[in-house]
Amino acid sequence: MKSKIQIKNITDLSLRETVESDIRQKINCITVDCKRVVSQFSSPTYLNALSAILVLSGRGSICINYKSYQIKEDMLLLLSSSHLFYFYDCSEDFKCICLFVSKVYMDDMDTTDMIYKRIRYGVRLYNEPVVALSQANALVIFDRMKRVDKSISYTEHYYYKEVILNSLFAFYLDLSDILERQMTLPGNDSITRYESVIKSFIELLVIHYREEHKVEFYASELNLSSHYLTLIVKQVTGQSVSDFIYEMLYSEARTLLSHSKLSVQEIAAKLNFSDQSSFGKFFKRKSGLSPKEFRKE
């Protein structure tokens, strides 16, 4: 039996003892040990963020889109929201530094389009997301990640968001430079037809899940029949298209109930439910609690 697939936002991750800034719900950089990595990522997960994970010590394994990789010190994992992954068999001294950047954060920042334009390796690395860095280059990436972390913590800066964006931009520039110089990028490997469909479906889902709840929309966008899309998703993941849509909606609903001042009615409208009652029934089926009960927890 396939393990249940989870779709998570940064806010679903319990990786830090304290959260000194709300911005860490959208962008976060944190060093974690074996225990926390396993507690958060031991089952198949789609994380609704761009993730860069640098291994600092120890050894372990990660499964990404059903392919296993052995990982050790100075290896960098570059994951998009359409990468399904989980860690396993990590040594007790395993430690890594993780940079998570949500699409919500990217959308909030006016100049983040520059970052996307600079990341020339994104599509080419989709099928080979694990990169072995030289020690010198690993130190460069580590330093850039720590600078992002420091900028997030510097909440009193008059130009707080701009400082974070600049540190993030510098990280991506250095990363792009290292990959362009160091790597022999895979040119002959190609993802399978089914993997391509899953990747495209998840990318569409991340963009449209708040407004579009029906399988037919995603199938139409992919020029597939609803039956064929359902068949592919079920065969590859063990879950239905609707499972993915509802999990994304549920994740967003939890975030809005926990971290926003929107009323339940406003949240229902934001997530394109027909009314507050239908949203309440959906949420209670998923959590066992009404939205108001969940907010009081």
DSSP 53-119: EEEEESEEEEEETTEEEEEETTEEEEE-TT-EEEEES--TT-EEEEEEEEHHHHHHSTTTHHHHHH-
Q: How far is Cα 150 from Cα 163, in angstroms, rounded to an integer?
A: 10
Q: How confident is residue 183, by pLDDT bands cut at 50, 70 and 90?
A: low
Contacts of residue 121, Cβ cutoff 8 Å, sequence gap at least 6: 78, 176, 179, 180, 183, 185
Q: Which domains does the chain have, with CATH numbers?
A: 6-182 (2.60.120.280), 193-296 (1.10.10.60)
Q: What is the mean pLDDT of residues 211-232?
A: 95
> Which one is predicted more confidently, 235 or 87?
87
SS3 130: strand
Share of the chain above pLDDT 90, in %: 52
Edge-first strand order for the sheet with 49-57 is 27-33, 95-102, 49-57, 75-79, 130-132
Tell me 49's DSSP state. Answer: E
Q: Is 54 exposed, middle or buried (0-12, 13-18, 19+ CB in 10 A)?
A: buried
Q: Give yes or no for a contact between 75 and 37, defined as CB atoms under 8 angstroms apart.
A: no
Task: Tell whether the model's pLDDT for residue 172 goes beyond 50.
Answer: yes
Task: Tell whether the model's pLDDT for residue 101 goes beyond 50.
Answer: yes
Task: Tell whether the model's pLDDT for residue 111 goes beyond 50.
Answer: no
At 124 the pLDDT is: 58
Lowest mean pLDDT among 130-134, 209-213, 236-240: 236-240
Mean pLDDT, the chain, rounded, equals 86
Residues 24-42 have pLDDT tens digits of 888 999 999 999 998 999 9
Q: What is the mean pLDDT of residues 94-116?
A: 70
